[in-house]
């Protein structure tokens, strides 16, 4: 299926491959090897690598109950993940911003074009965003959790995004990739650059790429 985004025809949805539930290294090895790395060498990610990263961040692990890869207060699941790709950054995926559709495990085109340089510009000039083929931007819709727990729910959202970030770190390590978590950026400008709805608050930017 194709659609026209700002006048340009692109694939509207991209089905991701099923996650690998076995893995290549032990959890202890992934924990021991986890590092924050800010420099990446050129090289695209495979679609299966991106699939695995997204599933680890927010994917469904128990279809019957809709449980996800990270714990969530009251199973309110306030997080949404957007993928910022450059041209030829992921095999078979064009340059653009994609939303991870969790229930169907697919990417949905949100905005066409390579926005990595613009995103870096509103993240205090972080060069790693430009070097990395993709960046995962984790956002929260706070109301999903705060409607149930009030102001305390804000704390629960922040705990949850930490779980998601650590899952991405460990999965990247297991895949032989590098990443790092960025929390220093201008929230409203990130939302503007990525054309995000106002209900989404960006919390983490995590560039992912191949080690130098």
pLDDT at 93 over 50: yes
User: Which pLDDT band, with edges at 50, 70 and 90, does 115 fall under?
Assistant: very high
Residue 132 pLDDT greater than 50, yes or no: yes
Q: What is the pLDDT of residue 116?
A: 98
Q: What is the pLDDT of residue 10?
A: 59
**H-helix segments, 66-206:** 116-121, 127-131, 143-149, 152-174, 187-193
pLDDT tens digit sequence for 150-192: 999 999 999 999 999 999 999 999 999 999 999 999 999 999 9
Q: Residue 44 has which token pair?
A: 């695209």
In CATH, what number does 2-209 get? 3.40.109.10
d(CA 38, CA 135): 12
Pairing relationship of beta strands 178-179 and 106-112 according to DSSP bridges: unpaired
Position 4 confidence tier, pLDDT thresholds 50, 70, 90: very low
Instruction: Decide if pLDDT at 7 tops 70.
Output: no
């Amino acid at each position: 299926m194709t659609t026209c985004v700002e006048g340009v025809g692109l694939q509207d949805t991209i089905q991701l491959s099923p996650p690998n539930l076995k893995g290549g290294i032990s959890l202890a090895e992934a924990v021991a090897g986890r590092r924050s790395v800010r420099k990446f060498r050129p090289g695209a990610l495979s679609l299966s690598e991106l699939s695995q990263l997204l599933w680890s961040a927010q994917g469904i692990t128990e279809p019957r109950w809709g449980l996800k890869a990270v714990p969530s207060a009251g199973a309110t699941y306030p997080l949404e993940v957007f993928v910022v790709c450059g041209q030829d950054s992921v095999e078979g995926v064009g340059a653009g911003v994609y939303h991870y559709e969790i229930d169907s495990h697919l990417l949905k085109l949100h905005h066409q074009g390579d926005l990595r340089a613009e995103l870096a510009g509103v993240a205090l000039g972080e060069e790693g965003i430009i070097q990395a083929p993709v960046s995962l931007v984790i956002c929260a819709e706070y109301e999903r959790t705060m409607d149930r727990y009030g102001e305390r729910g804000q704390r629960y959202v922040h705990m949850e995004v930490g779980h998601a970030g650590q899952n991405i770190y460990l999965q990247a390590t297991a895949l032989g990739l590098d990443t790092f978590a960025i929390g220093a950026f201008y929230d409203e400008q990130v939302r503007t650059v990525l054309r995000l709805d106002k209900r989404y608050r960006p919390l983490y930017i995590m560039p992912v790429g191949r080690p130098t």
